[in-house]
Amino acid sequence: MFKTTSKIMLVDDEKDFVEMLSLRLKENEENVIAAYNGQECLDTLEKIQVDVIILDVKMPGMDGIETLKQIKKRHPLVEVILLTGHGTIQSAVEGMKLGAFDFLLKPADFKELTEKLTKAKERRKEQMERIQKAEAAILLRQSKI
């Protein structure tokens, strides 16, 4: 099956975790960008288009939920998968109500992560295609007027 390249941002304050997971995702032919806190994530999003963000819920400073709110406010089409520990499942549920695609418990199973990542990328691609069709329909309608 043909695999499309997309950009994935991994946001977590645990640098060793980010580096290890980035390597595994790159081995899986993913294009990965790392950020180590919520503000760095938001700053990077202003410069680089990202398709899916894997976002830790519990981080110092701006936590994952506040970061998610800002992402969805500024970049509503970016899909977000939340990473959470057992103690913060409630936060993950709150995050999904705020627009997160899904959540994973830490330590995340790599196979489960890649499955959710694939589904998130597909959802984003489908949404982008629907928007392009709608824009084309608008242009076609305007050309007939």
User: What's the CATH class of domain 7-143?
Assistant: alpha beta
Q: Tell me what the mean pLDDT of segment 65-70 comes to.
A: 97
- As a whole number of Å, the end-to-end CA separation of the chain is 43
Its pTM stands at: 0.91
With vertex at residue 112, the alpha carbon angle to CA 110 and CA 118, rounded to the nearest 5 degrees, is 100
Write down the pLDDT at residue 2: 52
- What are the pLDDT digits (tens) for 8-45? 999 999 999 999 999 999 999 999 999 999 999 999 99
- Residue 54 CB: number of other CB atoms within 10 A? 24
The residue behind tokens 């500024």 is: 74
Long-range contacts from 25-31, C-beta under 8 angstroms, 24+ separation: 28/114, 29/3, 29/5, 30/6, 30/117, 31/5, 31/6, 31/7
Taking a C-beta distance cutoff of 8 angstroms, is the pair 36, 28 a contact? no
The residue behind tokens 């790159």 is: 26
Write down the pLDDT at residue 115: 96
- What are the pLDDT digits (tens) for 78-113? 999 999 987 678 888 999 999 999 999 988 899 999
> What CA–CA distance (Å, rounded) separates 111 from 59?
24
**What are the domain boundaries of the chain?**
7-143
Task: Give DSSP secondary structure letters for 50-66.
Answer: -SEEEEES--SSS-HHH
